[in-house]
Amino acid sequence: METEHASGAPVTGGATSRVARIVVPVIIGIVFLGVWEFLVHWLEVPKFVLPPPSKILDALLTDYATLGASMWNTLQITIAAFFVALVFGVTGAILFTQSRLFEISLFPYAVVLQVTPIVSIAPFILIWVGLDHTERALLILATIVAFFPILSNTTLGMKSVDHNLLNLFDLYHASRWQRLRYLQLPSAMPYLLGGMKISGGLALIGTVVAEFVAGSGTGTGLAWRIIESSNRLNIPRMFAALLLLSSLGVIIFFGLSAVETLLLRKWHESAVGREN
């Protein structure tokens, strides 16, 4: 790790890069916010066009209770949708790999569901299930958005099993269940985790889009707070809600990345450091 440049300056690596990976973006963020704050004041930009960061922070602190409750609602739907998508995606992948008939009959419809813009399905779902229970409609919509990457990644992973290992399992007369449990599912794990990282973000996006479409019917999520604040020209609060949404996305991403590293660090090339 002590590789040195021709100039003699140590190349960043190991601990240095870990610190740098946090410090450098933070510095850039602070500089960016400072310039923003300064320009808004200097150019006298009206607050309803672009509020300075300080006003956004103000809005965040004043409306913390409302925004916090909204964030909690959005988060609940997102997490629920993610887990439902996980169950459906993995179950679907298992069915697809156990039976060719399942795959050829159902996969096209999974694709149709995936490629149809969620915004255009949303009104139907809202009418069918959402009139009394908007949150159910949100859950269904977010799940539809989130489940496809898990389905397709896990299916691919289960099909990418080492053929010799499959032969080995045949040789020892493994049952279908044993082959699934001991070989196909572990093989698919890196693929599944990759799919989960994509789906985590998509579940949030699906929830937000569904909230937008549902409009005042929900009245509780962060997306609705953005619409509401926009209608009242409370731009700082719009930004505050947006900030919370982004934070949710970031937390979900890093949370799932941590799960991935934890599960793969012992064996998968993606999670172990190179030794040279």
Partner 1 sequence: MANTVSVLAQKAAAGEAGEIKRPLIRIDGVSKTYQNGTVALADVKLDVRSGEFLSLLGPSGCGKSTLLRMIAGLGTPSSGVIDWTQARYDVSGEPERSLGFVFQEPTLMPWATVFDNVYLPLKIAGVSRRDAADRIAEVVAMVGLEKFAQHYPRELSGGMKMRVSIARALAVKPRVLLMDEPFAALDEITRFKLNNDLLTLWQQQRWTVIFVTHSVYESVYLSNRIAVMNARPGRIMTEIAIDAPYPRDDSFRTSPVYNEFCRETSAELKRTMVEPGK
| Rounded least distance, CB 172 to partner 1, Å | 5
Instruction: Confirm or reject binding of residue 268 to partner 1 (CB under 8 A).
Output: yes
| Rounded least distance, CB 268 to partner 1, Å | 7
First to last CA, the chain: 8
Using CA atoms, how far residue 120 sits from 125, 141, 173, 207, 209, in Å, is: 10, 11, 49, 14, 11
Instruction: Confirm or reject binding of residue 189 to partner 1 (CB under 8 A).
Output: yes
Classified as helix, coil or strand, 81 is: helix
Nearer to partner 1, 42 or 172 (CB): 172
Instruction: Confirm or reject binding of residue 259 to partner 1 (CB under 8 A).
Output: no
Burial class (CB in 10 A: 0-12, 13-18, 19+), 48: exposed
Q: Dig out the tokens for 138 from the structure.
A: 């949100």
Nearer to partner 1, 132 or 269 (CB): 269
139-178 binders of partner 1 (CB under 8 A)? 162, 164-165, 167-174, 178
Q: Are 145 and 67 in contact (CB under 8 A)?
A: no
Nearer to partner 1, 5 or 163 (CB): 163
From the list 182, 216, 230, 258, which residue makes contact with partner 1 (rule: CB under 8 A)? 182
Q: By the criterion CB under 8 A, which residues form the site for partner 1? A: 162, 164-165, 167-174, 178, 182-183, 186, 189, 266-269, 272
